[in-house]
Amino acid sequence: MKGLQVTDLHVSVDSKPILRGIDLTVAKGEVHAMMGPNGSGKSTLSLTIMGHPRYRVESGSVVLDGEDLLALPVDERAKRGLFLAFQYPSAIPGVSVANFLRTAINARRARADTKNDMPIPQFRKLLKERMELLEVEDSFLSRSVNDGFSGGEKKRLEMLQMHMFQPTMAVLDETDSGLDIDALKVVAHGIEMLRGPEVGILLITHYERILKFVQPDRVHVLVDGRIVRTGGRELAAELEAKGYDFIRDELYAGKA
């Protein structure tokens, strides 16, 4: 099976259960939106898939292209084609964007005991192409990674990285939060430009508004650590109209 398969995933943070049995399949070529209110476990899901040490997998599995991701360290997951666009990207003072991208690409290409650096002209060509695609200004390259970046600039850099590393499975963790409409369009454009038969995309979001620009194949609703509804694009519109409460009310109606 090509793509991402999450099966009965239970995750806790500091001994507190957050995800309580997630089942999710994102096939190559598909775009899935994962929506949910604050505290539902959206970021936990994305950070667990990437391998953040703070998130403890109690049971279940995460498989990418048939390979058990949970057995792999963070960097190996990246090398297998997984990319996470962060909600809060870290600043790396003293390391320029250009240097970071180049070093990262070479780190990903390296195999045991052998370097396999991308030749500089090839790197430069790729960079130029991707920067044009995402309308990133040249001045970006010499600035330190995310250091003093505005919210919009950080998201733009996440998109540039996503396009430089050419993942086969991209998870975007609330990449659309806190953006003005122009920045939102940049992110949406970045996602649309990545979309293709060889790439699966999981777009995690609180708001429906980015789905005005990105057409998801499936929409999931995450509440209290469980996927409670799955549907097509109309589900997102319904959520936008009624808010998350209606789902909660529905969910807990029988148990009151």
> Alpha carbon 63 to chain centroid distance?
16
Under the criterion CB under 8 A, does residue 149 sit at the interface with other proteins?
no
Under the criterion CB under 8 A, does residue 122 sit at the interface with other proteins?
no
Stretch touching other proteins by CB under 8 A, among 58-66, 105-113, 215-223, 227-235: 105-113
Residue-wise DSSP of 166-217: --SEEEEESTTTT--HHHHHHHHHHHHHH-BTTBEEEEEES-SGGGGTS--S
Under the criterion CB under 8 A, does residue 142 sit at the interface with other proteins?
yes
Q: Name the minimum Å distance from CB 173 to other proteins.
A: 11
Give the C-alpha separation, 167 to 84, whole Å: 9
The SS3 call for residue 2 is coil
Do 24 and 6 touch, CB atoms closer than 8 A?
yes
Q: Which is nearer to other proteins, 143 or 226 (CB)?
A: 143
Q: Which listed residue (52, 185, 189, 248) binds other proteins by CB under 8 A?
A: 52
Total length of the chain: 256
Under the criterion CB under 8 A, does residue 112 sit at the interface with other proteins?
no
Do 2 and 188 touch, CB atoms closer than 8 A?
no
Stretch touching other proteins by CB under 8 A, among 74-82, 185-193, 205-213, 234-242: 74-82
CB-based burial label for 132 (10 Å; 0-12, 13-18, 19+) = exposed
Stretch touching other proteins by CB under 8 A, among 59-67, 93-101, 178-186, 202-210: 93-101
Instruction: Report the interhelical angle of 97-109 vs 151-165 (nearest 10°).
Output: 30
Q: Which listed residue (15, 90, 114, 150) binds other proteins by CB under 8 A?
A: 90
Q: Which is nearer to other proteins, 140 or 244 (CB)?
A: 140
Under the criterion CB under 8 A, does residue 89 sit at the interface with other proteins?
yes
Show the site string, 203-222: x = touches other proteins by CB under 8 A, - = not: --------------------
Which residues neighbour 254 within 8 Å (Cβ) at sequence distance 6 or greater?
none
Q: Contact residues for other proteins (CB under 8 A)? A: 50-54, 73-75, 77-79, 83-84, 86, 89-96, 98-100, 102-104, 106-108, 120, 123-124, 127, 141-142, 144, 161, 165
